[in-house]
Amino acid sequence: MIKKSIFFLFETSLLIIVPLTIILSIAFIFLTISNDIFPGLLKYADNINSLTQKNFCSLVLYFLILYTVIIYFHLKDKLNIFILFHKFKNKEKVILVFASYFLSALIIENIFKKTHYSILLLVLMTLILFIFFIYFVHFITNYNLKYFRTIYSNLINLRINFKKKKRRQNIIFTKDNCVFIFHRYSNDIVNSRICANINGN
């Protein structure tokens, strides 16, 4: 019961988070490009310039952690990374590597101090982010609005289970209980007969 209710909460939160991130990213792209090409045209676009490096880093890290948790719990067909890797074309892989490099440079600059290991860290971070992005793209492409239906069915199931439990508390001899008692009784008889036969022999 508790597990099902947690899963229900998790799925409802997922319904809000995924469209929200897509809308936010599209808005961010639109505002920044408009601010670059037509500076001072949109007043809302100037607010993006006030965001500092640390703000961006914290935002990116928050989304990365959130999506790692979501992907870990939600991908039921936990595919191997090598199977997924072959599904992508070479073009797509190269673009994803560049994207992962851009983000890893941002994260390393803010979290770790500048040392002679910074390049090694950057390479490691790009690899980790590249693997994450492959899973992320797989998750986003398989995400459908059919989840609404599954959530609705889960809700009905929860209600039915709740009602069943209430009934069982009130009535002792349900059908299941009767069957259980009968089986136990019959087994005892069989066991006693076997025992008697053994003793007799």
Partner 1 sequence: MKKLIKIKLAITLIFLVSALIFQKTRHPSIINLDITPVTYVFLMFLPILWLFVIPRKTINTFPLLFLVLTIFFSLFNLQIYAENMVLLTYLSLVLIVIKSIINLKKVKKSNREYD
- Answer yes or no whether residue 124 interacts with partner 1 by CB under 8 A: no
- Answer yes or no whether residue 64 interacts with partner 1 by CB under 8 A: no
- Answer yes or no whether residue 27 interacts with partner 1 by CB under 8 A: no
Using CB under 8 A, which of the segments 12-20, 102-110, 162-170, 181-189 binds partner 1?
A: 102-110
- Of residues 10, 28, 85, 162, which one binds partner 1 by CB under 8 A? 28
Least CB distance to partner 1 at residue 116 (A)? 13
Using CB under 8 A, which of the segments 74-82, 100-108, 153-161, 193-201 binds partner 1?
A: 100-108
- Answer yes or no whether residue 60 interacts with partner 1 by CB under 8 A: yes
Amino acid at 101: Y
The residue among 6 and 39 lying less far from partner 1, judged by its C-beta, is 39
DSSP string, the chain: -HHHHHHHHHHHHHHHHHHHHHHHHHHHHHHHHHHHHSTTS-TTTHHHHT--HHHHHHHHHHHHHHHHHHHHHH-SS---HHHHHHHS-HHHHHHHHHHHHHHHHHHHHHHS---TTHHHHHHHHHHHHHHHHHHHHHHHHH--TTHHHHHHHHHHHHHHHHHHHHHHHH-SS-HHHHHHHHHHHHHHHHHHHHHHHHHH-
- Of residues 92, 117, 153, 164, which one binds partner 1 by CB under 8 A? 92
Binding site for partner 1 (CB under 8 A): 22, 25-26, 28-29, 32-33, 36-40, 48-49, 51, 53, 56, 60, 88, 91-92, 94-96, 98-100, 102-103, 105-106, 108-109, 114, 118-119, 122, 133, 136-137, 140-141
